[in-house]
Chain A
Amino acid sequence: MSRSPEGSGPDDDVLGRLLRTPDDASRLRALLAAAAAETTAPAPGEAAALAAYRELVQEPAGIPSLTRRRQARLAVAAISSVVVLVGGGVAAAAGGALPDGAQQVAKTVLGAVGVHVPGPTSSSGSNDNGSEPTSDASPTRGGEATEPAAPVHHGQPTTTPEPKAHPSTPPTPGNSGPSRHHGNPAPHATPHPTPHHGKPTTPPVTSHRQATSAHARKLARLVMQARR
């Protein structure tokens, strides 16, 4: 018999003994037995509970379909996001709007899959070689690199002026594409002639830019290795 520390509480088994002992015919025992007596009568609220239960049983067929629809919507949204991000990245690379390092990486990576993008120094915002003027010699208005101004001539030097290029075609290296510096001249954007052979040229840049390009090339190699 384990009493409470206060000494005032009953034994934990008092109720059990009270209800189990057949000889104890006290009124209290009868009362407690009556309170806990089983019933065979239909319980009130049974119909409502069954109705709720039926709804629960019918729900599982609906829940997966809702889940599947939700998953399909999420998948479409995810794919759309990936397409937009990749497309935007390629477009930015094609427009030469990426930072130097990223531009070099994009050039290397996209060049491997046949997409030509300008190198990090190819968009100086001017076209001084005189061989490939564009209809709009100035950098993109407002500095936004959204629309390449030069036509596409992969590996073919042009000698005649051509109208503004198709917006979706990336400029060749050396063309006066949109500025990556938001209309401001680049610190090292020295104008230079471009051979237009579809190959990136090594522009006369400072040691800082060379270091950046080397870093970018190293990064590109790492990216290519990772892709393999």
Chain B
Amino acid sequence: MDVQSPPTWAATLTAAQGGDETAFTAIFRALNPAVVRYLTVLCGRTAAEDLAAETWVAALRGFASFTGDERSLRAWLITIARARWVDAVRAQTRRPELVTDTAPEVVGPDDVVGAVETAEATDAALELIRRLPDDQAEVITLRVVGQLEVAEVAELTGKTANHVRVLTHRGLRRLADLLGEKPPEGL
């Protein structure tokens, strides 16, 4: 992807901040999947797309003054996405009749395993991750999809670094159990 190398990323970001729509599109296509997938694990596909759109709108307010690399921008977007999700959960708590509208779809375990084996179904993988307890699913998604470090995940979720490590460990073990295999060495 073009925006991954530092010089190209800096040039792309500068161009996007200067009004280059093509550059912005490149940034969007590079980073939006991580945002959508993270939100998908949190709240389901349909709600995730809506919240991702809100995330970008909110991010654009500070986009012109943003400085940093691709990783920093991804972390920043995910932070905004999480805040959007928290707001949505609170809003649904105040309006319980809307909860059923965004109920996540449940995929059967056999279908999920079969799709994952081909390594083609990202959605199926995310659905399997969603079966984990919420905190484990979130931490693993942030580490794998968001490519965030332990310290960054800890800061984002308000947990300690050790807690993040424990959740990651337990989540991976559980995923391995769901896939019917032993966890890899070191877990």
Residues of A within 8 A of B (CB): 1, 4-6, 8-12, 14-15, 17-19, 24, 26-39, 42-46, 48-50, 52-54, 56-57, 60
Cβ contact within 8 Å between A28 and B179: yes
Residue of A12, A31, A42, A43 with highest tally of chain B CB at under 10 A: A31
Q: How far is the CA of A15 from the CA of B165 in the complex (A)?
A: 11
Verify if B13 is at the interface (C-beta below 8 Å from A): no
Verify if B158 is at the interface (C-beta below 8 Å from A): no
A26-B184, A31-B128, A35-B122 are contacts. A9–B60 as well, Cβ < 8 Å? no
- Using CB atoms, name the residue of chain A closest to B64: A56
A19-B144, A45-B32 are contacts. A9–B169 as well, Cβ < 8 Å? yes
Question: Nearest-CB distance from A130 to chain B (Å)?
Answer: 77
- Using CB atoms, name the residue of chain B closest to A40: B29
Cβ contact within 8 Å between B32 and A27: no
- Using CB atoms, name the residue of chain B closest to A58: B19
Verify if B168 is at the interface (C-beta below 8 Å from A): yes
Contact of B186 among A11, A48, A50 (CB under 8 A): A11
Question: Nearest-CB distance from A28 to chain B (Å)?
Answer: 5
How does the 8 Å CB contact mask read for B110-139 relative to A, with 1 for contact and 0 for none? 000100110111101110110000000000
When distances are taken between beta carbons in the complex, the residues of chain A under 8 Å from B56 are 45, 48-49, 52
Verify if B42 is at the interface (C-beta below 8 Å from A): no
- Using CB atoms, name the residue of chain B closest to A21: B184
What are 9 A-B contacts defined by CB distance under 8 Å? Answer: A10-B168, A11-B186, A18-B172, A26-B181, A28-B181, A28-B183, A35-B144, A45-B36, A50-B21
Q: Which residues, 16 to 48 on B, are CB-close (under 8 Å) to A?
A: 19, 21, 24-25, 28-29, 32-34, 36-37
- Using CB atoms, name the residue of chain B closest to A35: B125
Cβ contact within 8 Å between A10 and B165: yes
Q: Which 6 A-B pairs have the closest CB atoms?
A: A9-B165, A34-B125, A27-B179, A10-B169, A45-B53, A49-B56
Cβ contact within 8 Å between B183 and A48: no
Interface SS of chain B: helix
When distances are taken between beta carbons in the complex, the residues of chain A under 8 Å from B1 are 38
Question: Nearest-CB distance from A43 to chain B (Å)?
Answer: 4
Cβ contact within 8 Å between B120 and A34: yes
Question: Nearest-CB distance from B5 to chain A (Å)?
Answer: 15
Cβ contact within 8 Å between B124 and A14: no
Cβ contact within 8 Å between A4 and B162: yes
Q: Which residues, 171 to 187 on B, are CB-close (under 8 Å) to A?
A: 172, 175-176, 179-181, 183-184, 186-187
Q: How far is the CA of A14 from the CA of B169 in the complex (A)?
A: 9
Q: Which residues, 35 to 83 on B, are CB-close (under 8 Å) to A?
A: 36-37, 49, 52-53, 56-57, 60-61, 63-64
Q: How far is the CA of A56 from the CA of B36 in the complex (A)?
A: 22
Cβ contact within 8 Å between A46 and B143: no
A14-B186, A38-B1 are contacts. A30–B33 as well, Cβ < 8 Å? no
When distances are taken between beta carbons in the complex, the residues of chain A under 8 Å from B99 are none
Contact of B119 among A15, A30, A53 (CB under 8 A): A30
When distances are taken between beta carbons in the complex, the residues of chain B under 8 Å from A4 are 161-162, 165-166
Question: Nearest-CB distance from B152 to chain A (Å)?
Answer: 12
A30-B117, A50-B21 known; 14 new pairs, CB 8 Å cut-off, are A1-B186, A4-B166, A12-B165, A14-B169, A14-B172, A17-B186, A31-B129, A35-B126, A35-B129, A36-B145, A37-B122, A39-B122, A48-B56, A50-B25
When distances are taken between beta carbons in the complex, the residues of chain B under 8 Å from A43 are 28-29, 32-33, 36
When distances are taken between beta carbons in the complex, the residues of chain B under 8 Å from A56 are 60-61, 63-64
Contact of B172 among A6, A28, A36, A54 (CB under 8 A): A28
Cβ contact within 8 Å between A46 and B32: yes
When distances are taken between beta carbons in the complex, the residues of chain B under 8 Å from A49 are 28, 32, 53, 56-57, 60
A34-B116, A34-B119, A34-B122 are contacts. A10–B186 as well, Cβ < 8 Å? yes
